[in-house]
A and B are shown apart, each in its own frame.
Chain A
Amino acid sequence: MPEALSSFRICDFTGQLAGAGATKWLASFGAEVIRIEDPVNEGRWDILRSRAPTVDGNSSVNLSGSFNNHNTKKHGITLNLRTERGKEILAELVKISDVVTENFSKGVLDRWGFGYERLKELRPDIIYVSHSGFGHRGPYSDFKSWGPVVQAISGLTFASGLRDQEPAGWGYSFMDHTGAYYMAMAVLLAIIHRQRTGEGQWVDLAGTEAALTLHGPALLDWTVNQRPTRRPGHPDSNRNLWPPMAPHGVYPCAGDDDWVAIACRNQGEWEALTSVIDEDWCRDPVFADLEGRLASQDALDAHIAQWTAERNKFEVQSALHEVRVSAAAVQKPQERIDLDPSTENFGLWRKVVHPEIGPVRVEGHPVHFSKTDWSIERGGPCLGEHTEEVLGRLLGMSSKEVDELREEGVI
């Protein structure tokens, strides 16, 4: 099968998930992603390189499960950019690359002498995509961030929570994932633009800005109606405002921390739900129509919770699916990864054999393309795993030259 992006080469300085997640997508579709890492600090500008989890509990720059997952199929080379020779080699690589990607704080590439102006000198149609929490322009451009900061600043943390509680926020770096998706979009949009015009450009992606676009209707309610989301009783995010639905919530089930989500989108689904529950309260006239159910939603939820609490979450899910009501067990990691035919049959989880980790599973992608599907044949690169191969193949260096570079501390 041909690969969608095999004609594009990316000179990649990304790390963590917010950057590495973007080039993972591109690599999976065939782009030649060359990850450049520092030999002196062993690539630790990506803090995930030596972090848990690992398969056997040991720790080293080549054993991290997160690093391995986010960097599948990429080439890894080392280059010491403190040395002149290292900078010369990077310049040669930029000349033959289509895209340069990074998610450092503002100014790091400039300090190395590889800011956008210099990149453009090396390759006039270069595409440069930087991704940071606040971007390289604006009053906060020197501020530092990671996923939870982006989420807090942009309102995503605030928007997620139960009534009369502090925000629950996101229990992970949702914006590292989503920021990576927007970074990959920016790369592809710039590639498509270049295909059509021959022009390159610099995209100064700011995670907080991308995150703010995810609140559309709430922001228009603010600019048009001056209605803030910070108001009594809000947010109450397991309920639904657009459109209002009742019931719409997450209910306790029998078992250890087991829950089920139920949503009735219309009167027919409410009637279907009550045909399954079939208790006296279902016929209470206060719940007869949507207006009534919205007005009595606390009481309604209490009744449903009492019913679900005695039942297994997957049994509730099946019983409601039987009558075509939206319902889903809140799945634990093992349930959705090891026991869920829908992810298994989709081929979502892939096993790679890593030279040091051994066989280990990684995340795939949630799509299949009929002609150029993604593939993941290998895990993340060990530190410097492809240095010799890449410098030989792309820059024509002999093994002897590469050995000399190694002795001089350039790679």
Chain B
Amino acid sequence: MTALTGIRVIELAREPIAFVGKLCGDMGADVILVEPPGGDPCRGYPPFLDDTPGEDRSLYWWHYNSSKRSVVIDLDDEDGRDRFRALVATADVLIEGEPPDRLATLGLDYDDLIKHRTDLIHASVTPFGRNDPKSDLPATDLTLLAGGGPMWSCGYDDHSLPPVRGPQQGYQTGANFGFLSVLTALAYRGVSGEGQFIDLSQHAALNVTTEGSSIRWLTAQTTVQRQTGRHASVTPTTKTSQLCADGRLASTGAGARNQEQFALLHEWLKELDLESQLPEAVFLEMGANWEGHLNMGLIGEDDAVTAIFGAGREAMKLIASTLTAQEFFVQSQRKGFTSAVVNAPEEAFEDEHIKARGFHVDVYHEDIERTITYPGAPYPLPASPWRIWRRAPKLGEHDEEVFSELT
């Protein structure tokens, strides 16, 4: 038994919402993916198993559709709609990302469906919300991130280069809110017995996922400007990335902050025999011996404080340049500095810490007789464990077992 065991979720297959269904399914919900005849186009998305395109070989599909069953229902056909209504009668939750008027036109919107399932939770995910005419227009992960705010803050110091998107995170951010909303509605249903309709706007989801960009404007009507690899800011900040000895980048962070850390940093520089390469090293000593509060707020105002913190940053960068990025990260963190290595996703996946926490999850695909390693749980719930309960379904794989239960 896990958190959502026994909760039946119907998902009308659409690219932007597939992640909501996965989040439900991997927590134990019985997710039934309803696909049109011919299947969801995402079945054909790369990358493919062994780089060979073909049926049931899309790794994209595998990832976003784990822990789901698949049935084929043609909603444009009256028999199909009857079957869908019968299916919804057995369901706790419906997740869909249809254009705003489509379900009403088919007689399958919330008001119709609650006649068949009075406590249904129906979550609609559209680009701008159900009542906005713009939700009828095509939108993609890219255009949502552009219009919704994240992209304005992301890119390079050189503003002749375009703002940059974090791929997939437009859809996934909307999906995260979709799952959060379903859980909130389930918790309420657990208390009250009542279901309800949820209207989610992906554009709004991104608008409230921009941190300083929104807060600065809402509070002080100032505008942040994008900078390479660091927070967009109203006033420019110092670069914190450093190329390391192995050609990978590290993020050196804020460096030393207090007397103890300046002493540690100075000691580290000496250990690595680098003191002579940093003329500013004398300021590290000054920082270590500073009397009273060493106030970062005085950077730019007080010459000594400015020099001390500047030397701290330069020392971190110099050290980073002589170590591999991973060595720099681990050694500096062990000394108490908040630093990082800029991993590629696969490097992060192979990291010893991630592995030690059990993030590599093996799933046996009986159809190809192979065990595939998947990314694991976003959250470890020991009493109600996350799990990939089954591989992504083939088209209509569960028609018979699902339909035979319906009256």
Contacts and interface: CB of A to CB of B under 8 A. Distances in A.
B50 to A, nearest CB: 7
A327 B354 CA distance: 38
B138 A367 contact: no
Nearest to A210: B378
B59 interface: yes
A379 to B, nearest CB: 11
A321 B132 CA distance: 14
A112 interface: no
Contacts of A232: none
Contacts of A158: 342-345
Interface residues of A, number: 154
Nearest to B146: A261
Secondary structure dominating the interface of B: mixed
Contacts of B113: none
Interface string A195-221: 111011111111011101111111111
A224 B344 contact: no
A176 to B, nearest CB: 7
B191 A172 contact: no
A284 to B, nearest CB: 23
Interface in A114-156: 134-135, 137-140, 142-149, 152-156
B272 interface: no
Interface in B46-66: 46-47, 49-51, 59-60, 62-64
Nearest to A65: B219
Interface string A290-304: 000000000000000
A61 B197 CA distance: 39
Nearest to B147: A328
Contacts of B156: 162, 165, 168
Nearest to A129: B379
A366 B342 contact: no
A139 B46 contact: no
Interface string B127-138: 011011010011
Interface stretch (B74-82, B173-181, B273-281, B298-306): B173-181
A312 interface: no
B259 interface: no
Interface string A328-351: 111111101110001101101100
A44 interface: no
Given A145-B338, A216-B375, A366-B208, 13 more contacts: A162-B164, A172-B210, A182-B379, A189-B379, A214-B168, A215-B345, A248-B142, A261-B142, A263-B142, A324-B137, A332-B223, A348-B204, A361-B219
12 contacts: A66-B219, A162-B156, A172-B231, A182-B176, A193-B384, A201-B382, A209-B379, A243-B45, A261-B143, A263-B143, A331-B152, A343-B203
